[in-house]
Structure 1
Amino acid sequence: MAFKDNDQTEGKVAKGIEKQTAKIPSDVFLWSALGAMAVSAGLKIAGNDKTALFVGQWAAPFLLLGVYNKLVKVEGSDKNDKG
């Protein structure tokens, strides 16, 4: 079933989340990802291999959240919503 662009709107929960996440500066996510990589490298050097892998996997989600944050700021939660 195909939807027209103007038939799709965001729900109340999505709008609320996007309203709050748009308040976070985009560089917070970049620095969080870089911090996770640095901590992961430190843990690897210290010999905590499993913990290093766990923390190192945080970088990608932080970067994805940053992309989502930027899209919400640029595009808005719902282009078709007038209010």
Structure 2
Amino acid sequence: MTDYRVAKGEAQEDQLTAAIEKYTAQVPSSIYLGLALASIGGSIACKAAKKDHLALYVGQWVAPFLILGIYNKLVKIHGSDGTTA
């Protein structure tokens, strides 16, 4: 069976990705968690105000904020490429 995994140092990110990650890595992880919690609260508030469609829309922001927080944390831990160049 063929092994298609990418080994460490085998692939590198482009300069645009590295530049974006350099600035976004400065954002504290708690910001993303706070945005997710605010989305939950906003969704509950919209639901209580009988704005069901808006409540669903705002509630769907929770997962992207948490995913961005995880990505941010991974970049802080492992760097852009996971290489030391």
The TM-score, its normalising length taken from structure 2, stands at: 0.89
Determine the C-alpha separation between the residues in 2 that align with 1:10 and 1:81: 13
Structure 2: distance between partners of 1:33 and 1:57: 10
Q: Deviations over 1:10-58 (max 9, x none)?
A: 1111101110110100000000000000000000010000000000000
Partner of 1:53: 56
- Structure 1 SS opposite 2:27: coil
Structure 1: runs of 5 or more not aligned: none
Q: CA deviation at 1:5?
A: 3.0
Counterpart of 1:68 in structure 2 is: 71
Unaligned runs of 5+ in 2: none
Root-mean-square deviation (CA), in Å?
Answer: 1.4
Match among 4, 10, 22 for residue 19 of structure 1? 22
**What displacement does 1:62 show?**
0.2
Letter in 1 for 2:83: N
TM-score by length of 1: 0.91
How far the C-alpha of 1:4 sits from its partner, in A, is 4.0
8 Å CA contact 2:43, 2:59 repeated in 1 = yes
